[in-house]
Amino acid sequence: MANPIHGFNLKPGRRIGAHYEVESRLGEGVEGEVYRVRDRVTGILRAAKLYRPEHDPKRRRSIQHAQKLESLRDCPIVLQYFHSETLTVRGQSVHVLISELCPGEPLKRWIERHRGKRADPFVALTVLHRLAAGLEDIHNTGEYHADVHTENVLIHPRGIGFNLKLIDFYPWGRPSRLKMQQDVLGAIAVLHDLLGGARRPTTLPPEVTWVLAGKRTERILERFPTMAALRHHLETFSGPTVF
């Protein structure tokens, strides 16, 4: 078995396939690393995710990931997948997925840049609404994410609103109501983190505390059995003391 690739460490100018060259590294995770790359002919910027061979020896995970992104192409919150490339790194074949390069940053980093490492309650609910609407689109296709947290959400403030993108769709098995409810719980956990997590204020507007539901799973799913129910509540609740 080949030695694990702990870091690709691609330098600027390194070619990926026939069409791209590396500009910079964007980040890394358990499965691999993501780079900002430029189309050598058009100059268009893209994102390239390199999968570590030891985590994806038969390319099943990367292929499933690409197939899932393709099936969700019409959902605005999902990164647009384009095609795949192959790269040789230290004698090993590496599978690379090329997708759109989105402006913004991981939601976790965005939260940490705020004073007190928390967002204003109204801003937090606004971000949650965008996330819920995007996940509702995914659920309407019969699919799910099932790993929603602040490191898997990219945020880009635009005008008076926010553009969000979900990343890292893992193949957790066949779609089910349980997996979609896991997305609801993940979205509420994101709200909790937006408000400061364990450091959140002891007093919050009642509209916010009602949505948080004490972080109790049964109570959350009783109030929001579907993502549509969460999105609808955020659009229609009364008593705007949160403003």
Kindly list the distances between the CA atom of residue 111 and the CA atoms of 4, 43, 154, 192, in Å, as whole numbers in the listed order: 34, 32, 11, 11
Kindly list the distances between the CA atom of residue 73 and the CA atoms of 8, 77, 80, 119, 219, in Å, as whole numbers in the listed order: 29, 9, 6, 30, 33
* Nearest Cα to Cα of residue 16 among 43, 38, 41, 42: 38
Count, residues in the chain: 243
CA quadruple 50, 53, 57, 58: dihedral positive or negative?
positive
Average confidence score pLDDT of the chain: 93
Exposed e or buried b per residue across 28-66, where buried means at least 16 C-beta atoms within 10 angstroms of its C-beta: eeebbbbbebbeeeeeeebbbbbbbbeebeebebbbebb
Digit-coded pLDDT (tens) for 28-40: 888 899 999 999 9
Digit-coded pLDDT (tens) for 174-202: 999 999 999 999 999 999 999 999 878 77
Whether 113 has a pLDDT exceeding 80, the answer reads: yes
Residues 208, 120 contacting (CB under 8 angstroms)? no
Q: State the pTM of this model.
A: 0.91
Digit-coded pLDDT (tens) for 44-93: 999 999 999 988 889 998 999 999 999 999 999 999 999 999 999 989 99
At position 99, the amino acid (one-letter code) is: S
As given in the structure block, the two tokens for residue 116 are: 């007190």
The span from the CA of 56 to the CA of 32, in Å, is: 10
- The least confident of 104-118, 211-225, 227-241 is 227-241
Per-residue pLDDT at 239: 64
Digit-coded pLDDT (tens) for 160-174: 889 999 998 877 789
Whether 1 has a pLDDT exceeding 60, the answer reads: no
Q: For each of the domains in the chain, give its residue range(s) and CATH number, in order of start.
A: 15-100 (3.30.200.20), 105-236 (1.10.510.10)
As given in the structure block, the two tokens for residue 99 are: 């997708």
The span from the CA of 177 to the CA of 140, in Å, is: 12
Residues 156, 162 contacting (CB under 8 angstroms)? yes
The span from the CA of 210 to the CA of 200, in Å, is: 15
Calculate mean pLDDT across residues 97-102. Answer: 96
Per-residue pLDDT at 173: 85
Residue for token digits 């009364």?
238
Higher pLDDT, 241 or 39: 39
